[in-house]
Structure 1
Amino acid sequence: MLDICLIGGSRYFGKRLIERLLTAGHRVTVLNRGSSVPPAGSAHVVADRDDEAALEAALGPLRFDVVIDQVCYTPRQAAIARRVFGPRTRRYIMTSTVEVYEHEDSPTPVREGAVDPRTVMVDLTLPWDDPGFRDAHYGEGKRQAEAVLAQDPVLPYASVRVAHVLGGDDDFTGRVAHYADRIRAGEPIAVPPVNHPATYVYVEEIADFLAWAAEQDFTGPVNAHSPGPLTTSDLCAAVERAIGGRAEFRVVDAGPLSPYAFTRAYAMDDSRARALGFTFRHTSAWLDQAVAETVGPGR
């Protein structure tokens, strides 16, 4: 049994993660600003993770075997987490993102070494507290957050670089729903001249992976995704199977594109996850189920 603290992330795959940790018999403490109540069986600490003094006070004497940080978006947040949780936990897991590879355009899936956080420059003077800036620099914020943990390590850490997540009737992104709405209305879906594939993961499996990772001892970055990159056409075909209709594509050279329509290669390599002992299913094993959960009849 482990004492595990989950920072934020109590919806979507975060809530699934909490359920898995509790089912496995772990003691779970959810730390958030109080905007959502965690599932029954977990403890609750209310604090603003950006307010270091308040966070210290709220945690008090609490100690943890593992901290899983679902909402670390900037190097400033990582620096606070490092200082506050360094003396309080044996291992820290940050949920990172495929967006750390936003400057890569590799014809082959990229491995973790393509972005080595030990060599990433950290700039704490940037306006990370500005939500607009933070959203516009999501990948950079995650890269620099990883770098804070890697370059001045005070505790063992792992960063889980999560692919684009699909599935669930609680998918709040609206991205797959965008396809369904346009197919139902007979409206075109904007795609680039070259429709590059990207890597994805099923919401249930990323919850499985994070719950599994909490019980392991590996450190450093790891890509988390299913083999079998998907294009916009692949996703729309799954939507067609779920709701009927036929997708119409409009090729555009400039201007807004549909969600998950990429102008560059966007695939990760999953060999490290497999070497560590976790195997994600191929996208073909779950794609139709995931899409139907989100946009199927009655959605």
Structure 2
Amino acid sequence: MEKVLDVLVIGGNRYVGKRLIVRLLAEGHRVTVLNRGSCPPPAGVEHLRADRDDERSLTDALGSRVFDVVVDQVCYTPRQAAIARRVFTGRTRRYVMTSTVEVYEYEDSPALVREESVDPSAVAVDPDLPWDDPAFVEAHYGEGKRQAEAVLMAGPGFESTVVRVAHVLGGHDDFTGRLAHYAERIRTGEPIAVPAVNRPATYVYVEEIARFLAWAAGEDFTGPVNAASRGVLSTEELCVAVSAHVPGGRAEFRPVEVGEVSPFSFRRSYGMDNTRATRLGFAFGDARQWLPRAVAETLGKGD
């Protein structure tokens, strides 16, 4: 067995985070979870309750604890990142932040985007924006993540990795409702609004991203890394997979030039290159192979 690690997971009470904790435990690591306490963690996990936005609350909950690695599932703003950097400097050997493909929201190329397209050291950080306003944070999700990356990776003394996660699919507990959106429209025959030019995107299976994060926790690399399955998927391909679970249903698309469109339909390319992760030693699967299973799980048709 590999070295046993003391791992702190910040967040971890739903979806990817729950699966990450299960994997870390199965690998024999000692796991501590820190969150506000809305859901109890699995057996065998130490549970710390704190508001990660409150620096005093965070330091009080941690006490004198130190960790080999911290996996931060819920860092959305540069303010949160700044608190984390102050609190965990000297407390952990390595910090892994779950980031997002949305950091590439200003990149638009038919080629799969590589990590160097967004260099955290070149990102301007503005701590005076209204990062305490949930509506502002939601509306500026990509920017918040981009600036959080920049804070964590600014200068020496804090070894960090940011995992830029593709759109996640699968699991009976997918809380987003995005595939259900398609299932309902296919069932009722309501047109599905898509951009006039609808671009494909890369995706990752929920179990695969949990496996990647658990793997990354035990590695030593730093810097940004893209986490995406091989191959891009179009909205049409997603709807074919959904239609298999809607008897008699058929997807009808309504192209729109401006205005709101359906989930997983994009006016620009959303594809990530996963070459760095592959070179580091992680093998992602093919999206088209796991897609039927992921859709079946989400729509309640899986095992």
Same fold (TM over 0.5): yes
Query: Secondary structure of the equivalent of 1:243?
Result: coil
Give the match for residue 152 of structure 2.
149
Say whether 1:112 aligns with 2:83.
no
Give the match for residue 259 of structure 2.
255
In 2, Cα distance between equivalents of 1:267 and 1:295:
25
Are the counterparts in 2 of residues 243 and 297 from structure 1 also a CA contact under 8 Å?
no
Query: Secondary structure of the equivalent of 1:183?
Result: helix
Aligned alpha-carbon RMSD (Å): 1.2
* Superposed counterparts of 1:108-257, under 5 Å: 108-244=111-247, 245-257=249-261
Are the counterparts in 2 of residues 97 and 161 from structure 1 also a CA contact under 8 Å?
yes
Task: Give, as a single letter, the amino acid of the residue that structure 2 aligns with 1:282.
Answer: D
> How many Å apart are 1:27 and its aligned residue?
0.5
In 1, Cα distance between equivalents of 2:16 and 2:212:
11
* Superposed counterparts of 1:52-131, under 5 Å: 52-131=55-134
Q: Deviations over 1:61-101 (max 9, x none)?
A: 10000000000000000000001011110000000000000
Of 272, 284, 288 in structure 2, the residue corresponding to residue 284 of structure 1 is 288
Say whether 1:295 aligns with 2:299.
yes
Are the counterparts in 1 of residues 243 and 251 from structure 2 also a CA contact under 8 Å?
yes
In 2, Cα distance between equivalents of 1:125 and 1:9:
28
Task: Give, as a single letter, the amino acid of the residue that structure 2 aligns with 1:200.
Answer: Y
Query: Secondary structure of the equivalent of 1:286?
Result: helix
CA distance 1:298–1:148, shift in 2 (3 Å)? closer
In 1, Cα distance between equivalents of 2:288 and 2:139:
32
Are the counterparts in 2 of residues 118 and 147 from structure 1 also a CA contact under 8 Å?
yes
> How many Å apart are 1:298 and its aligned residue?
8.9
Query: Secondary structure of the equivalent of 2:31?
Result: strand
In 2, Cα distance between equivalents of 1:242 and 1:39:
32
> How many Å apart are 1:210 and its aligned residue?
0.4
Task: Give, as a single letter, the amino acid of the residue that structure 2 aligns with 1:72.
Answer: C
Give the match for residue 12 of structure 1.
15
Give the match for residue 33 of structure 2.
30
Task: Give, as a single letter, the amino acid of the residue that structure 1 aligns with 2:299.
Answer: V
Task: Give, as a single letter, the amino acid of the residue that structure 1 aligns with 2:100.
Answer: T
> How many Å apart are 1:216 and its aligned residue?
0.5
In 1, Cα distance between equivalents of 2:8 and 2:88:
10
Query: Secondary structure of the equivalent of 1:211?
Result: helix
> How many Å apart are 1:206 and its aligned residue?
0.2
> How many Å apart are 1:104 and its aligned residue?
0.4
> How many Å apart are 1:153 and its aligned residue?
3.6
Are the counterparts in 1 of residues 69 and 92 from structure 2 also a CA contact under 8 Å?
yes
Say whether 1:46 aligns with 2:53.
no
Are the counterparts in 2 of residues 165 and 201 from structure 1 also a CA contact under 8 Å?
yes
In 2, Cα distance between equivalents of 1:298 and 1:156:
40
Structure 1 gaps, min length 5: none
Task: Give, as a single letter, the amino acid of the residue that structure 2 aligns with 1:258.
Answer: S
Of 276, 279, 287 in structure 2, the residue corresponding to residue 275 of structure 1 is 279
Are the counterparts in 2 of residues 243 and 295 from structure 1 also a CA contact under 8 Å?
no
In 1, Cα distance between equivalents of 2:213 and 2:245:
29
Are the counterparts in 2 of residues 74 and 142 from structure 1 also a CA contact under 8 Å?
yes
Q: Deviations over 1:138-164 (max 9, x none)?
A: 000000000001123432100000000
Task: Give, as a single letter, the amino acid of the residue that structure 2 aligns with 1:228.
Answer: G
